[in-house]
Every structure is written in C-alpha cells, then in structure tokens.
Amino acid sequence: MTELLLVVEDDPTLRELLCASLRLAGFAVTPATTGAQALAEVRRERPDLIVLDVMLPDFDGFEVLRRLRRGEPPAPAGPPPVLFLTARDAAEDRIGGLTAGGDDYVTKPFNLEELILRIRAILRRTNGRQPEGRLTVGDLSLDPDSHHVTRGGRTVPLSPTEFSLLRVLMEHAGRVLTRRQLLDLVWHYDFGGDDSIVASYISYLRRKVDTDHPKLIHTVRGTGYVLRRPAR
C-alpha cells in the first residue's frame, strides 16, 4: 500500500520540489501551507506521516504538533508521526521539536536522498511490524496493538518514536543494548545516523515511564541502556 505524506511548507518553490520528489520516490503526497490547513488535512486525509515546517504563516509547527498530541483532530490510532523540516537549526529548536513529540528533525538546506531515507525509517518503525502480544515488565505494560502503555495502572502517553524505543527495550528486558543497536532497531538509520538522538529519547522516556519507583530504565556506563525487571 502506498503511504500518504502530508507536506506542510509555506514556501511555494520548496513545497512543489518536495511534493514532486516524494511522489517520484513512490509516496502519495498532500500539500498544506498553514498550520490550520495542516490540521484540516490530517482530519480529512489521515496521512501516514507529516513533513512539517516550523515557521508557518499562522502558528508554528511546534503548535501544530502540540494540537495533534492533544487530539485535535481526534484520531483513533493516535496522531501520525512527524518529521520537522526547518531552517531553525539551533540546538534549543531541535530539542524543542523532539521534546514536543517529533520523530525526527531535519534542517535546511538538506539532502533530498537523506530526507527520503529518514521518512522511510520512521514509517518502518511505526508501521512495519505486525501487532504481537502485550509486553509486561513489573507494573509497566505495553500493548503493541492499541499502542497503549500503562505504569502502575496510569496511562503513559508516548510519541510514536518513544513507543518504539520502549517496545524494543521491553522486548529485550534484562539485556544491555548499545546506542548503535538501538539506533538500528528503533530508527533503522541505513545511512548511519547520529547516535546522540538515542540518549535524548532515553531521557524523554524516563520522564514519562520512570516517574515511579522502582526505576526500570538503567544506563550501563560506557555500554548502553537496559530495562531491568524490578527485584522481587
């Protein structure tokens, strides 16, 4: 099945280039020029992924993502994954985009081939595997079918990338995974991505999953990360 991408970009030249290139790469593409139009298209088209500019004429891409995460518009399967594509290359902007729930952050100017690889990597990790049985580690529970996560009975809202990372950690509970292994298992970066993104997402995940005791996600200094079952 052909994946549908929503490209949100107010620059007409770049928007046309992106749409044409992504169609040539085998995607179906719907364009949008404002944040409000983007939300309307999400409601109408239910895209598989959004390529989202940050600087838009009405409100910025971060606000678009915040509204999607709040359920505007409501989506039974949750909001689609988001790849930010922006000229804002400061570290605080990248951190802000990822913290808001973005799945990747690409700065302009960009390499078109790399952008397509990143899009495909996100789609693989969010759509590529068939649902399996519920995973449980201590009082942490993850349902791959409904994408529902709970800790101690409390619902834990996660972005698609955070969910994929937690799923991998839970599938390998008790086993230490290196950053490079996590980059491959979660991000599928065939072109060799920057493994610092792993540490960032581990931090985001801890803030949501490890607010209670005992802590489940542990750093193994000089090696990687492990999700350990609590001692009985």
Beta-sheet strands, E only, within the chain: 4-8, 28-32, 49-52, 82-86, 104-107, 135-137, 140-143, 148-151, 154-155, 177-178, 217-220, 224-227
Q: Indicate the DSSP class of residue 101.
A: T
**pTM over 0.85, yes/no:** no
Question: What is the C-alpha separation between 126 and 197, in angstroms, rounded?
Answer: 17
Phi, psi of 135 (to 5 degrees): -105, 135
Beta-sheet strands, E only, within 121-197: 135-137, 140-143, 148-151, 154-155, 177-178
Are 200 and 98 in contact by the 8 Å Cβ rule? The answer is yes
**Secondary structure of 6-30 in HEC code, one letter for each residue:** EEECCCHHHHHHHHHHHHHCCCEEE
pLDDT at 14: 94
pLDDT at 131: 44
Domains parsed from the chain with CATH numbers: 4-127 (3.40.50.2300), 135-227 (1.10.10.10)
Question: What is the C-alpha separation between 128 and 117, in angstroms, rounded?
Answer: 15
Mapping DSSP to helix (H, G, I), strand (E, B) and coil, where does residue 143 land? strand
pLDDT at 166: 94
Cβ contacts of 191-196, under 8 Å, gap ≥ 24 = 191/114, 191/117
Q: What is the pLDDT along the chain (232 residues), one digit of tens a residue?
A: 568 899 999 999 999 999 999 998 888 899 999 999 999 999 888 898 999 999 999 998 989 998 988 887 776 567 889 999 888 766 666 666 666 678 888 888 888 888 988 898 888 877 654 445 789 998 999 998 788 999 998 999 998 889 989 998 998 888 888 888 788 778 765 445 567 888 999 999 999 999 888 999 999 988 899 999 887 6
pLDDT at 190: 46
Question: What is the C-alpha separation between 125 and 167, in angstroms, rounded?
Answer: 11
Cβ contacts of 53-60, under 8 Å, gap ≥ 24 = 53/8, 53/9, 53/10, 53/11, 53/84, 53/85, 53/86, 54/84, 54/86, 54/87, 54/88, 54/93, 54/97, 55/10, 55/86, 55/87, 55/88, 56/8, 56/10, 57/10, 57/33, 58/34, 59/35, 60/35
